[in-house]
Amino acid sequence: MTGSSPYRIVMRCDGDNRLGMGHVMECLWLSQALEATGACHTRFLTPSATPGSRVLLDHGCDVVQFEQHELHALHALADGWQPEAIVASLFDRDAEHYRQLQHMVPTLIAVFDDGRARGQLSSYLVDYCVEQEIAASDRQARGPHFALLDPALANYPEPSIPEIGRRIFVNQGGSDPFSLTLDILQAISGVRPHCDVFVVLGPAVKPQLAAQVDALRAELPYCCEIEHAVAPQRMYELAASCDLAVTAAGNTLYELCTLGIPSIVVCHHERHARVAKAFHERGAAVSLGLGRQLDPTVLTQAISRLLTGPEERQQLSANARRLVDGRGCQRVAEQIIAWLQDGD
C-alpha cells in the first residue's frame, strides 16, 4: 500500500449483448477479492446504460459511467482519483489503445482468456485460458487456476452422479447472440426418455429472443422451466441440481467445471471453439463445435449418450474440478498486490 492508504485500482470492462457479460462478471469477482484483502479500493469505469453497468450498480460497486470518449473519461478519472493501477478486461482493443492506457497510470494489468501472446501490451498479464499450462511469474499469471470466478463456487460439494441423468441445465452465456437456446431446446425434444430442463437466459439477452424462448416452451414435449437474468447464486443452485449442462464456452463453462457438472459445449465463434476444444482434449467437457454449424441430431445423440453413461459423466466431472477449482480470484488478487508492492 502507498503509506497507510489502500491501492486505488480502476477496473475497466464492458458488457452488452454483443460482447457478452463475462468481462464484467470476472472484474466484479476480482474487485470483491481485492477489496476483501483490505489493501485495495476499486472503482469501475464502463459505458453508461448497458447491461454491464446495471449489473455492477446492482452489486453496489463504485461505478463511473461514460457516454462516449472512453479515453477522455479515463483521463479525467486518473487525474482526479490518481489510481495506482488499471485492471483492463477489454477483448476488442488494439495495441495502441493499451499503449495509451499505460501512459495514464503507474501499472497496467491486462486480463485475457484466449491464450494469445500479449505480454507486451501491459505491465502485467493475467490470462486464464485453459489452453495454457498453469504458471505464474514476476509479470504473468496464466492458466485455469487463475480463472476469475465467483469464489462462492469453491464451496459447493462434489456432485453425485446418478446412474441415469434426468435434469439438464441450459445456458448460452449472458447474451446468446446467435439464439442457440432455441436450437438446443428443440434438439432436446429428441432425447428419450424425456428429462426436466432448466434454462437460464442471461441479463443481456434481447427481449425478442426471450419472447421466442418463452413461446417455444409451450410446444416442447418435456418439462422446461425458464428463468431470466437470475442472480449468480440462483444460477449456481440450478446448475448444481442438474446431471448435465448444455452451455457456451465463456465463463459459464469455467463455472460449471468448478461445480463438477458434466457439460456439452455449443460454441458461438472460433475463439470459443478453441477453448472448448482444449476442455474436450483434457477430458473436462464435450465440445460439439460452432452452434451455427451443428446438426441438431448430433446434439441429441450426445445428450442421450451422456445421460445414460454414468462413467463418462463421472470422468468429465472429476477432470473438470481438477482443472478449475474456483479459487482463481483469490490467487490473482494476491498476485496483483505482490506486483504493486514490488513497484512501490
pLDDT in tens, 268-303: 989 889 999 999 999 999 999 999 999 999 999 999
Report the percentage of the chain scoring pLDDT > 90.
82
Statement to judge: residues 134 and 56 lie in one domain:
yes
For residue 193, tell me if it sits in a domain. yes
Rounded to whole angstroms, the Cα distance separating 303 from 309 reads 10
Model pTM above 0.75? yes
Cα 126 versus chain centre, distance: 14
**Which amino acid is residue 149, in one-letter code?**
L
- Same domain as 316, residue 169: yes
Q: Is the pLDDT score of 97 beyond 80?
A: yes
Residue identified by cell 491464450 is 115
119 pLDDT above the threshold of 80 = no
pLDDT at residue number 1: 62
Same domain, 174 and 300: yes
Whether 246 maps to a domain, the answer reads: yes
Q: Write out the residue range of the structural domain in which residue 60 sits.
A: 7-149+326-343
159 and 187 co-located in one domain: yes
- 122 in a domain, yes or no? yes
Angle at which helix 270-281 crosses helix 251-259, to 10 degrees, equals 20
The Cα–Cα gap between 9 and 231 comes to: 26
DSSP 132: S
Q: How many angstroms separate the CA atoms of 93 and 102, rounded?
A: 13
Domain shared by 158 and 266, yes or no: yes
pLDDT digits (tens, 9 = 90+) for 4-34: 689 999 999 998 767 778 899 999 999 999 9
Nearest to 230 by CA among 147, 189, 155, 170: 170
Query: Which amino acid, 156?
Result: Y
Q: Tell me how far apart the alpha carbons of residues 169 and 230 are, in angstroms, rounded to a whole number.
A: 14
Kindly state whether residues 160 and 77 are assigned to the same domain: no
Does 138 share its domain with 184? no
Please give the distance of CA 68 from its chain centroid, rounded to a whole number: 26
Residue given cell 514476476 in the structure block: 138
Does some domain include residue 2? Answer: no
Whether residues 286 and 213 share a domain: the answer is yes
First to last CA, the chain: 8
Do 182 and 103 share a structural domain? no
User: What's the domain count of the chain?
Assistant: 2
pLDDT at 68 over 70: yes
Give the pLDDT of residue 201: 96
Cα dihedral sign, 124-128-131-133: positive
Mean pLDDT of 91-114: 92
- Give domain status of residue 142, yes or no: yes
* 163-203 pLDDT, tens digit each: 999 999 999 988 899 999 999 999 999 999 999 999 999 88
Q: What is the rounded distance in angstroms from the CA atom of residue 136 to the CA atom of residue 142?
A: 6
Task: Establish if 27 belongs to a structural domain.
Answer: yes
Same domain, 262 and 284: yes
Indicate which CATH number applies to the domain containing 63.
Answer: 3.40.50.2000
pLDDT band per the 50, 70, 90 thresholds, residue 142 = very high
User: Are 158 and 67 members of one domain?
Assistant: no
- Phi and psi angles of residue 142, each rounded to the nearest 5 degrees, phi first: -130, 150
In a domain, 1, yes or no: no
126 pLDDT band (50/70/90 cuts)? very high
- Both 22 and 123 in one domain: the answer is yes
C-beta atoms surrounding 249 within 10 Å: 27
pLDDT tens by residue, 243-275: 999 999 988 999 999 999 999 999 998 988 999
- Which of 330 and 136 is assigned the larger pLDDT? 330
- The dihedral region occupied by 64, where left means phi > 0, alpha psi between -120 and 50, and beta the remainder, is beta
Let me know if residue 332 belongs to a domain: yes
